[in-house]
Structure 1
Amino acid sequence: MVSVANNYPFADVEARVQKRWENSNAFATDEKTDAPKFYCLCMFPYPSGRLHMGHVRNYTIGDMIARYRRMCGYNVMQPWGWDAFGMPAENAAINNSIAPAIWTKRNIDEMRIQIKRFGLAVDWQREFATCDPEYYRWEQQLFVRLFKQGLVYKKKSTVNWDPVDNTVLANEQVVDGCGWRSGVPVERREIPMYFMKITDYADELLEEINQLEGWPESVKSMQKNWLGRSEGAHINLKLTDGQVLQIFTTRPDTIFGATFCAVAPEHPLAQAVAESNPKIADFISRCKRLAVSEEAINKADKEGLDTGLRVRHPFVERELPVYVANFILMQYGTGAIYGCPAHDQRDLDFARSKNLPVIPVVLPPKIDEKDFCIGNEACTTDGTMINSDFLNGMDSVQAKNQVIDRLAANGEARRDVQYRLRDWGVSRQRYWGCPIPIVYCDSCGDVPVPEKDLPVLLPHNVTIDGQGSPLAKMESFTHCACPACGKAARRETDTLDTFVESSWYFARFASHDCDDAMIDERAAHWMPVDQYIGGIEHACLHLLYARFFHKLMRDAGMYPTATRYNEPFNNLLCQGMVLNSAYYHNNGTQRQWVAPSDVSLKTDSKGKVLAAYDINGNTLHNAGKIKMSKSFNNGVDPEQMVSTYGADTARLFVLFNAPPEQSLEWSDDGLRGCARFLGRLWNAVHELPTGSNEQAKDEDTVIASTQRRLHQLLAKANYDINRLHLNNIPSAAMSMTNELQNAKAVINDGTGASLAGVKFLREGYLLVLRLLAPAVPHITQALWEYLGKDGLIANAEWPQADQTLLAYATQTLVVQVNGKRRGQIEVPADAGEEDITAAARDVPAVTTDIAGKGAARKTIIVPGRIVNFVI
């Protein structure tokens, strides 16, 4: 037993409690139980080597939910894994001359220790890293099956290419047109890549979003926008030289406003013109330096050159010039558009730069045509057709149908649905990733590696210099025999996008030790995930890919039994960011950020910051509360926090100070306040009286009223925790502790306490401990033991409010004079009108009003609500 101390000895308690969990394998789970299952999962981390406060908040929230469900009688699985492949390991290898495998393994070992210090109720027997061959062999098997089914294919794709590092760059790795590491201008290059046909699942992915009732509406909206379903038409426009230019448009109603056409630099028409036009060829070459993302395209100046080709307008005698333009992407639609400047902002920007006509053809609602003109902003709303021949007077929807019907009748158009979503390019010219299980044979072409020969192992004895993938330089890896004909062949040296590993890990946790299948029958028990927790930044790509992969595995027969569900995550919680103050010196164009711990503040009487100074007394700029980040030098080291205050204090702070989905503002005072509360709780339990005397005066009344109040707080806490308003649970426990301490002052009146009084206080604190156990599991376990309880409080029953005690002992009434509020009173629930009136008259503002205006002519009492004096 831990000795009583004025300060809670958190280090000793937490180490002892964690050792007990580990020795008893307390949170291991299996399927051999009749208890209902609950699968709680936090998005697993990349093993960077150090936890940050965003990790701490995410995992603490998940752990509280898991522990709560466990106490409610569920068979809870909360597994752990590591998203271990990726570029940071390669960069570390380059910078530190260390193999990625060694760097990753070392980081995992360090982070596992840090994670365990926070006391998470994790089933560690299910732990794996995605860089383990025992893991990635199964995604190679799925890749092979999808390749055979045609759901994986190879084609050339336009990418951002770093000519120094010899690798594809993600859009976010292109900074001001240059590679983020090399600093040289990127090139837009076409290279062969493997793609997964996520577009085959676009309809299902979209339709089932509305079934995700446990997901935030904001995330569902983001996914809908990312999928980007649009109804429109493919239209074949005839060029004057006899060629046909096919475009896809969602606004065929605006065709009478078309004043030009434009094609992407990679479009075959542009390529053909470039062969005889040096200016076009040079322009296309310059376009290759522009990143390929929509965001980069939108930010860039809209540029283009006239190809000299002309398109005949399908309805009027008008020829439209055809430009090759930098704002048209080959991978969207057909890589060609007709431009209607009045009703598309990019078209308008381009038209203004080329002095092209701008013809408004859609009149917005409630606007007079004579007052309607296009300035610097395009009009993108629907409305009534104008300047559009046979469409005039129609609304936009009618006009769209009319245009499509007329063109379709001549074989010049067809209705179609398109998605903004494009097939998922999964090839990466990187070493530290899952090898793509394909062999190239001059006779047989692309041949998948037989499943019996999987996994294709990623060699670890490599030297990484940043000059492309080392796999391409390893003859021992690339040289092999063709699985089909036995002739000399070459292995694929690209690796899979690391989003692939994170798109199915949730299912593998259910079958973590299965060595003969990707997923076994246990998945039918655990899936789908009941509660998934992670950042809003993963709302689109990760969550969309995970939903897609779940359906792929379902259709590829990877799930051993017919699934009863089509979605992998029943409920989703996106926790808010952790914010902290940030301060900086403004050194010209670059800011130098100063750690908050090195900042002195001048504040006013209300605590408002008036000025900030560094350790040398230099004035700093205050950036306010912004996201904790290394870039802003405003992070807090979780390890230091645990060493100083303990894991339970850290957990309590991140849970108590903001609702899970809202941003959490860091506060040293708030952290210390949580530490003080745990110290008070520790002392309160250890200082409970033993009990041998007679009952104190008013003891029965105090016990009854306190008991009622405790259960009212508990009822509210139960309501809140089921809504995931987790911050209200510690708040309720704090209020309950205050109630018990107030009751103790009466029960233990200086001469000792009665046995009944001591029993009441003890049971009251046991109630508080169970309520707090999911939030602060170490101190509650220690105090549980101190109060003589056997076993783990983690296995105790979650407390339920006694319904017979929930009736209010008092009622609160608003007091008014002539209908204007003057205060409120609290009186016994069974108080009569005479007592209520007397209490209301004692409200100071009422006394003043009555003294100044004379006696009340009438008193109106609305039971449980209002007392109104009419004077």
Structure 2
Amino acid sequence: MADMYNHHTVEKKWQKIWDDEKAFKTENDYTKPKFYALVEFPYPSGQGLHVGHPRPYTALDIVARKRRMQGYNVLYPMGWDAFGLPTENYAIKNKVHPKEVTKKNVARFKEQLHSLGYSFDWDREINTTDPDYYKWTQWIFLKLFNAGLAYKKEMPINWCTSCKVGLANEEVVNGVCERCGSPVVRKVKSEWMLKITNYADKLLEGLNDVDYIERVKTSQRNWIGRSEGAEVDFRIKDKEDKLRVYTTRPDTLFGATYMVVSPEHPIIDKYKDKIKNWDAIVEYREMASRKSDFERTELAKDKTGVVLDGLTAINPINDTEIPIWISDYVLMTYGTGAIMAVPAHDDRDWEFAKKFSLPMIQVVEGSEGPVDIDAAAFTDVATGKMINSGFLTGLTVEEAKEKVKDFLTEKKIGNRKVNYKLRDWVFSRQRYWGEPIPIVHCDKCGYVPLDESELPLLLPEVDSYMPTDNGESPLAAMTDWVNTTCPCCGGPAKRETDTMPQWAGSSWYFLRYTDPTNTEALASPEALKYWLPVDWYNGGMEHTTLHLLYSRFWHKFLYDEGVVPTPEPYQKRTSHGMILGENGEKMSKSRGNVINPDDIVKEYGADTLRTYEMFIGAFDLSASWSDDGVKGCRRFLDRVWKLQTMLDKDNDGYSKDLETKMHQTIKKVSSDFENLKYNTAIAAMMALINDFYKKNSITLGEYKTLITLLNPVAPHITEEIWEIIGGEGRLYEQSWPEYEEAKTVESTVEIAVQINGKTKVTLSIGKDDAKDDVLARAKEALGDRLDGKNIIKEIYVPGRIVNIVAK
């Protein structure tokens, strides 16, 4: 052996061997038990990997390697989520085609991942920008369109005045674009939408059948937001129109003292001539247009609004005339765009009413009776008796809910209603670098899908990727590509020039991994039946809501279409915590605390980085980076290497004094790897190594077991040691160590031997030794300490202490 472990030589050696031997190529043997491990594929940015990437990749690599040793046919794939705005912006700035930018970034990412020794099957690599891949993304879209789940709709979007593109709510911060800092305004655009709302109940019900950590299920349920309530019609006084609201608390109708509508509500423009303060309304709408939906609904913000002077509504429960306000906290895209306000029982309504001196009526009595609602909000009373509520007075809240729903239905002024917070998915983007939407528009036939035989509809080459001032995609300027014929009537038609969002390719990528070169289908039925569902999917908490919801929606749709064999795509979903800078802050260039994994690999080795990222702390929690921690993990690996100097090559079993510790360690490491407790698994191996160093000896059998347990974490060094000590074949091909439960229980215990309650020596005894034998050995161990003393009493607490009471 070499005196020092040279990670430069060893890691390159084994990475080449694995490549040459295709060590981790997934077999198409559908008779073996399968295990499908999946990590979220990365967006290949120009910055390359950061140290946060290896944490989930290493975690699932550990499980994948362990499963192979346990005889499973393992699928552990990797690919690239490569469409999207960052690449397009880079291309615009540097005048380089996005395709070339993507190619360069992918090569960089792949080189970095390769240097970390992951057991990905690179023969199954996919890329969302590959026409052979996005052909099937387009195919799924056509299926959705033909099923009536894809449609076009005019709607307001967040519009960056500089990037000239629509932004998601989370991309708008304090009214400006997160990327460029330019003002963001609300702009009405015709957008492609997907009817994810049709699957709301299926998405909720499916959560009962999967193994997701609870906070992931909670985030999904909250986003879908199913609630039961009633729709209620409020007449506009002296007009034919009505304002329909949805409420989960129809029992509080007698407490509705005003209404609020969204600034975009069509009723405003319809009755423009009747509104006396029109200039104030226009000014307020302009202000609201500069905010994202998130900013408008944030509960902590100051409430703003303007009364619609000239329009009032009639509360249908008691025919009371109430004012109508506009306020930006009501969204046209959520519910009906109008709410009834019950300020005595809702924080938001109470704050609004307090600010604008609007009346409040308490209609539910709390446990302590009426309160001073002018002094403090009396909010969200879910129990108690109704007061000030006409025919509902005296009823419980639940009784009142049912009675008023019957009343609304009987009087035809409302109805029972199940509602969802979930909105249909805005699916189109006015940008170049995305999948073309395979639809044409014909003045005669409307929106017409391309025939499947014409897929993929290729993204054309363009001279300019610059966004347009009118908000259209750069593709709109390519008249030769845009102008086409209608597949239905053969007449003139125009192609859709919006492209799909980055979400599209990531919503089904896990399916393509099962059969990535199939030209006849997105994957063969045989492959899908064998590999689905994904057994274990790990990703960031930031993707456990929308990405997970979108991909589950697409999968459930494909299940209904008979394309996939399972109703859920992922059986198990876990999430990891972020790695923070040494100062405990999120890593970012502006803070100057970004760690490049290449630097760690170069100085300390890939195995050190892998070990450290698993040892840094509890996997599901955030943890701060520590250079000292990295050095400590390197010292641990060096100690594993130096065990060769004390190796008893003639003993291929376990030494008697460490047999129990060996079986305990196998049990703990095996369990911890399966339960995301990588840090405690590594700690157990560290403790075992300490025992070998105390003895200054390790048997061949013990060394083989140790490096097999460590192999999924640190594959390079352990393969090298296996070869040096004469292990047969490759280490990754060996069977996972097994333990015997009976041998995990200690057969001996250390007890204290005391004289008059003071410990003098310790004694190792068999846990089942007889009392007389233990006492005899204890007195023998005390030796001359008992000379001249009169023993009064001998006490033995089994397995704990011997106490000799003497004078």
* Aligned partner of 1:833 among 771, 788, 793: 771
Check whether the contact 1:264–1:270 (CA below 8 A) recurs between aligned residues. no
Structure 1 position 504 matched with structure 2 position 511: no
Task: Please name the residue that 1:684 is paired with.
Answer: 643
What is the Cα deviation at residue 855 of structure 1?
8.6
**Local SS of the residue matching 1:114:** helix
**Equivalent residues in 2 for 1:562-641 (5 A)?**
563=565, 565-582=566-583, 625-641=584-600
Q: Distance in 2 between matches of 1:838 and 1:393?
A: 81
**Local SS of the residue matching 1:511:** coil
Distance 1:767 1:475, change over 3 A: same
Task: Please name the residue that 1:537 is paired with.
Answer: 542
1:289-322 Cα distance to aligned partner (Å, 9 max, x none) = 2222366554553222222222222233521111
Task: Please name the residue that 1:55 is paired with.
Answer: 53
Q: Distance in 2 between matches of 1:817 and 1:216?
A: 53
Task: Please name the residue that 1:356 is paired with.
Answer: 358
Structure 1 position 422 matched with structure 2 position 423: yes
Check whether the contact 1:177–1:289 (CA below 8 A) recurs between aligned residues. yes
Q: TM-score, normalised by structure 1?
A: 0.85
* Aligned partner of 2:246 among 238, 248, 261: 248
Q: Distance in 1 between matches of 2:74 and 2:428?
A: 37
**Equivalent residues in 2 for 1:34-433 (5 A)?**
34-49=31-46, 50-181=48-179, 183-212=181-210, 214-242=211-239, 243-275=241-273, 277=275, 278-279=278-279, 280-293=281-294, 298=299, 300-307=301-308, 308-365=310-367, 367-369=368-370, 371=371, 373=373, 375-384=375-384, 385-433=386-434
**Local SS of the residue matching 1:669:** helix
What is the Cα deviation at residue 64 of structure 1?
0.5
Task: Please name the residue that 1:487 is paired with.
Answer: 491
Q: Distance in 2 between matches of 1:408 and 1:453?
A: 51
Amino acid at match of 2:724: Y
1:420-479 Cα distance to aligned partner (Å, 9 max, x none) = 001111011111111111111122211111111111111233322344532111212212
Distance 1:288 1:295, change over 3 A: closer
Q: Distance in 2 between matches of 1:387 and 1:532?
A: 53
1:809-862 Cα distance to aligned partner (Å, 9 max, x none) = 323569999999999976432444356568999999xx9xxx9xx99878463x
The number of equivalent residue pairs is 790
Check whether the contact 1:729–1:771 (CA below 8 A) recurs between aligned residues. no
Check whether the contact 1:160–1:168 (CA below 8 A) recurs between aligned residues. yes
Check whether the contact 1:257–1:340 (CA below 8 A) recurs between aligned residues. yes
Distance 1:326 1:767, change over 3 A: same
What is the Cα deviation at residue 285 of structure 1?
3.1
Distance 1:33 1:487, change over 3 A: closer
Amino acid at match of 1:502: S
* Aligned partner of 2:523 among 519, 524, 529: 519
Check whether the contact 1:290–1:296 (CA below 8 A) recurs between aligned residues. no
1:732-762 Cα distance to aligned partner (Å, 9 max, x none) = 22223233333345xxxxxxxxxxxxxx711
What is the Cα deviation at residue 88 of structure 1?
0.6
Task: Please name the residue that 1:555 is paired with.
Answer: 560
1:98-130 Cα distance to aligned partner (Å, 9 max, x none) = 211111110001110100000000100010110
Check whether the contact 1:158–1:292 (CA below 8 A) recurs between aligned residues. no
* Aligned partner of 1:795 among 727, 733, 751: 733
Amino acid at match of 2:42: P
**Local SS of the residue matching 2:513:** helix
Q: Distance in 2 between matches of 1:294 and 1:870?
A: 76
Amino acid at match of 1:656: F
What is the Cα deviation at residue 386 of structure 1?
2.4
Q: Distance in 1 between matches of 2:524 and 2:22?
A: 24
Q: Distance in 2 between matches of 1:258 and 1:290?
A: 28
Q: Distance in 1 between matches of 2:341 and 2:586?
A: 41
Identity %: 41
Amino acid at match of 1:527: L
Q: Distance in 2 between matches of 1:525 and 1:501?
A: 22
Check whether the contact 1:703–1:743 (CA below 8 A) recurs between aligned residues. no
Check whether the contact 2:649–2:700 (CA below 8 A) recurs between aligned residues. no
Check whether the contact 2:230–2:414 (CA below 8 A) recurs between aligned residues. yes
Which 10-residue stretch deviates more, 283-292 or 179-188?
179-188
Structure 1 position 719 matched with structure 2 position 671: yes
1:131-162 Cα distance to aligned partner (Å, 9 max, x none) = 11111111111111211211111111121123
Check whether the contact 1:654–1:664 (CA below 8 A) recurs between aligned residues. no
Check whether the contact 2:794–2:802 (CA below 8 A) recurs between aligned residues. no
Q: TM-score, normalised by structure 2?
A: 0.92
1:539-576 Cα distance to aligned partner (Å, 9 max, x none) = 100111111111111123333xxx2x311111112111
What is the Cα deviation at residue 201 of structure 1?
0.7
Q: Distance in 2 between matches of 1:216 and 1:78?
A: 21
Structure 1 position 764 matched with structure 2 position 693: no
Distance 1:66 1:319, change over 3 A: same
Q: Distance in 2 between matches of 1:814 and 1:234?
A: 75
Q: Which runs of 5 or more structure 1 residues have no equivalent in the other structure?
A: 583-624, 746-759
Amino acid at match of 1:558: V
Structure 1 position 806 matched with structure 2 position 753: no
Amino acid at match of 1:531: W
Task: Please name the residue that 1:478 is paired with.
Answer: 482
Distance 1:640 1:240, change over 3 A: same
Amino acid at match of 1:475: T
1:396-437 Cα distance to aligned partner (Å, 9 max, x none) = 211111211112111111101000001111011111111111
Task: Please name the residue that 1:736 is paired with.
Answer: 688
Check whether the contact 2:174–2:291 (CA below 8 A) recurs between aligned residues. no
Check whether the contact 1:6–1:679 (CA below 8 A) recurs between aligned residues. no
Q: Distance in 1 between matches of 2:100 and 2:676?
A: 40
Check whether the contact 2:439–2:447 (CA below 8 A) recurs between aligned residues. yes
Q: Distance in 1 between matches of 2:759 and 2:175?
A: 64
Q: Which runs of 5 or more structure 2 residues have no equivalent in the other structure?
A: none
Which 10-residue stretch deviates more, 663-672 or 293-302?
293-302
Which 10-residue stretch deviates more, 724-733 or 546-555?
724-733
**Local SS of the residue matching 2:608:** helix
Amino acid at match of 1:55: H
Check whether the contact 1:205–1:547 (CA below 8 A) recurs between aligned residues. yes
Check whether the contact 2:297–2:330 (CA below 8 A) recurs between aligned residues. no
Amino acid at match of 2:383: G
Amino acid at match of 2:6: P
Amino acid at match of 1:764: E
Amino acid at match of 1:789: G
**Equivalent residues in 2 for 1:848-859 (5 A)?**
859=795
* Aligned partner of 1:779 among 714, 717, 731: 717
**Local SS of the residue matching 2:293:** coil
**Local SS of the residue matching 1:427:** coil
What is the Cα deviation at residue 373 of structure 1?
3.5
Q: Distance in 2 between matches of 1:822 and 1:222?
A: 58
Check whether the contact 1:40–1:66 (CA below 8 A) recurs between aligned residues. yes
**Local SS of the residue matching 1:510:** coil
Q: Distance in 1 between matches of 2:757 and 2:187?
A: 76
What is the Cα deviation at residue 359 of structure 1?
1.8
Amino acid at match of 2:235: K
Amino acid at match of 1:684: L
Task: Please name the residue that 1:651 is paired with.
Answer: 610
Amino acid at match of 1:19: K
Q: Distance in 2 between matches of 1:627 and 1:818?
A: 57
Distance 1:208 1:855, change over 3 A: farther
Q: Distance in 2 between matches of 1:452 and 1:123?
A: 31
